[in-house]
Amino acid sequence: MFSYLHIALHFIVPVAIAWFFFRSDWKRAALIMLAANLVDLDHLWADPIYDPNRCSINTHPLHKMLPISLFGAMMFLPWKPVRYLGIGLVAHMLLDAVDCGI
């Protein structure tokens, strides 16, 4: 279900992860993790585009299990920007899953 808290967490959680785990590079990590929110552009293919009662997980193309698995794999790659993006994408999916009651 849509809530302002849910939207706020999509910004607070990546910054907190960057601050606590990547302190020496936290600003760059936070920006890349925040960019992971662009994954929600896949909502544009839904009909209707916005449905407050719809769960994003397994509904939208980039919120399905195969892409989520690839996002998880990205977290373990050696190139830091890709790792940060993977962490941001997985955090995003976890927040969406919590919002769905999964």
What pLDDT digit, counting tens, does each position of 22-46 carry? 999 999 999 999 999 999 999 999 8
Angle value at C-alpha 45, between 72 and 41, nearest 5 degrees: 50
Which among 42, 50, 17, 20 has a CA at the least distance from the CA of 31? 17
Give the separation between CA 67 and CA 52, rounded to whole angstroms.
23
Q: What is the dihedral of CA 69, 72, 73, 77, to 10 degrees?
A: 160
Phi, psi of 23 (to 5 degrees): -55, -40
- pLDDT tens digits for range 71-101: 999 999 999 999 999 999 999 999 999 988 7
